[in-house]
Structure 1
């Protein structure tokens, strides 16, 4: 009987210790989750992030070759390039119509669109319209390969509301590498409601595209896409962040309301964006388009492939003031107030009607990452 009591006592103590241990692991995991991805520590941003930045490159708007109203035609060339991320070091890259990244395709709801894609690479690729509602045969998925030295001419009608979308390869086994090397570009849709909203619309002046990516540079400035087991399991993460292809760039603006269209174009890294002075901003759009109303916040988190449009009011800043665009504790871009603006624009509280098709409300999103094979749910 005495032995039974001892046994029960030992079992009870063991169960209590087990419960405490499991609870500790669970709590500790939650504390670490902001710094880890799928249980693997996120590589830290390295010191070259602190190098003196260049002016922020602004991707150009792609010329519409069709002058007819309600129709649009664009030429897109997939090509090899060389990009100087560090002075004196040229890196082999990929780009659309240029050395790195691609131009912005801008259309309106109702447009009949044709895109002439020419693949000048020595390997296959695809061009996927991420977020566009198009027929399957025009989607540019893994089943719609473009052979080397050949072309593809998709056509479709824009039947969705205004949104900031993007395009990139979706080739089986090569998606991650081709996007990493530079094949990515933004795709804007406008509609009557977005055109009537009192929002910043001057491209590159107060309507700024922000494509955020991370890279692993060698000492020679190269960006080889070489995966180890962790990368294969959890996605490829770099240790240097680029915005529009530049490290720690500087953006010169007026003291006015500025619209940032942010794309997380990284393969696997998630960002928590904010400003150095903790200035509030207003999110007005997400992946599928405008929110019903603007939402005030001081930081916004984006997983790979996610987009957010935010409005930042710089009207109270003085010429000479500087603000840093950040990811958590890391500085990514310096914003310089270089000119005073007398124009005062109120931030719209109501954006689009709640009855509008596909109107977005705040929601929980799934994290996505480019692995070595494909864009996969984690």
Structure 2
């Protein structure tokens, strides 16, 4: 392809500045993906999660002080079976007050916590959780009133996996860290010393560098066959457009709360902040393949983004997969847990409307007030919520679950129905949700709802509700 004079001069300028680019961008090899440690919870087995300072290297040879759990940057994966109970002990060894949320675990606030259930530095909280829900991929993170963005950004984020008898019988990849891979995605901004940078006064945060499980655009060697990805968007503001760089399809099998009737084949999958998704990719044949966000880029595109003053990622590769071994001639099909469409025959008891103005930090013309309960829902009820927004934004709620009934008044087909707790709202789009409330929350320890952008949430674009 013949370059124009402008393109030629631009590429020449980029080439002359390549020496200024970080080594991670220019390196021919990537670092291996780190898999978070797994805490497998037996019935009644105590689990200790100590939130404290740690260290990591965002840039080779430059140690950065960060936060994490049990001495590691980020948090271990907790895996539990439905029907069990968990004796948890949270210990706060950090210099700030904090609250914790397990988003996707459906239980009363006395068990999972609330923004009003803060524990001071050098103190502990020991709830006993009763886990009674279908299999899902939840995540736990800092949920501190007006300070969650900073604490999540420093590293207080991890996955919480719930299994049940049906999910264990389903024909799905289930070897943790081998073909069942957890991915905690965050964008970062670092200074010349390799230290995280965050402007708490900015309306949003969009970092230039992409990290997964604390590694920048790493690689992972996987056995040939189906590979299962459990992904959480732990970024503060950034939404991701997931796809494969060879244009092969992704197969969506679950949201953060529930499974679909069958795998949904898709070229791309949107992921809002705080949203989780389970994907399958077929790596039985073919060479190296990368999971990326956005469109595939060439070398000069990456270099150009390093010098551009915009919100685009320098490298949009999330993780590069390197299949190992020979293809299997008996490559089997996957099966999902049983799907009961009768679960979605819901009787509506009440309707509510929510109008979001995220950058004004308003929901229904009101900004967050920790002393105000915005509404009270009836336990066991189902409500229809009408959502609109003047800016594209993620939306979620605690302690309840919903399905998307209509999108711009178009009904969702049964194949696309699954329980959720997070959804992306496009500007001027109208979504109708059917929300089921199954767990209690008092006025003293309410659930929250609102935007998933943690920067805007901390500034007041959220509300509280009780369930009685």
In our comparison, the structure showing a higher alpha carbon Rg is 1
Structure-2 change in CA distance of 1:300 and 1:133 (3 Å): same
The residue correspondences of 1:22-41 to structure 2 (distance < 5 A) are none
- Tell me what 1:344 maps to: 331
Number of equivalences: 322
1:105 is matched with which residue? 78
CA contact (8 A) 2:211 2:217 kept: yes
Give the equivalent residue in structure 2 for 1:208: 181
Q: What does residue 37 of structure 1 align with?
A: none
1:319-378, Cα deviation, whole Å (9 max, x unpaired): xx2111110033222111222253622133775332458796636924521116539569
Match of 1:131 among 85, 100, 104: 104
In the alignment, what sits opposite 1:324? 290
Contact 2:112 2:129 in 1 (8 A): no
Matched, 1:335 2:310: no
Pairing partner for 1:60 from 37, 44, 51: 37
Is the Cα–Cα contact under 8 Å of residues 40 and 80 in structure 2 kept in the other structure?
A: no
1:41 is matched with none
Which deviates more, 86-95 or 343-352? 343-352
Do structure 1's residue 252 and structure 2's residue 221 form an aligned pair?
yes
CA RMSD across the alignment: 2.4
Q: Distance in 2 between matches of 1:185 and 1:179?
A: 10
Distance 1:341 1:72, change over 3 A: farther
Report if the CA contact (8 A) 1:201-1:207 is conserved: yes
SS at match of 1:81: strand
What whole-Å deviation, never above 9, does each CA across 1:56-77 have from its counterpart, x for those lacking one? 000111153x5xxx43421111
CA deviation digits over 1:33-82, x for unaligned, max 9? xxxxxxxxxxxxx9657354210000111153x5xxx4342111101011
Contact 1:209 1:260 in 2 (8 A): yes
8 Å contact kept, 2:35–2:182: yes
The Cα shift of 1:227 comes to 3.1
The superposition leaves residues 245-283 of structure 1 with CA deviations (integer Å, 9 ceiling, x where unpaired) of 000100111211100011111000000000110111210
Deviates more, 1:203-212 or 1:286-295: 286-295
Q: CA deviation at 1:93?
A: 0.5
Residue 157 in 1 paired to residue 130 in 2? yes
User: How far, CA to CA, are the matches of 1:47 and 1:278 in structure 2?
Assistant: 28
Match of 2:25 among 47, 50, 66: 50
Compute the displacement of 1:294 (Å): 1.4
* Structure-to-structure mapping, 1:127-276, within 5 angstroms: 127-228=100-201, 231-232=202-203, 235-276=204-245
| Alignment gaps of 5+ in structure 2 | 1-19, 296-315, 345-400, 404-413, 426-451, 464-468
* Contact persistence 1:289–1:359 (CA under 8 A): no
Match of 1:291 among 260, 284, 299: 260
Structure 1: runs of 5 or more not aligned: 1-45
Check the 8 A contact 1:172/1:373 in 2, yes or no: no
Structure 1 residue 110: deviation in Å? 0.9
Question: Matches of residues 303-318 of structure 1 in structure 2 within 5 Å?
Answer: 303-317=272-286
Q: Is the 8 A contact 1:293 1:350 kept in 2?
A: no
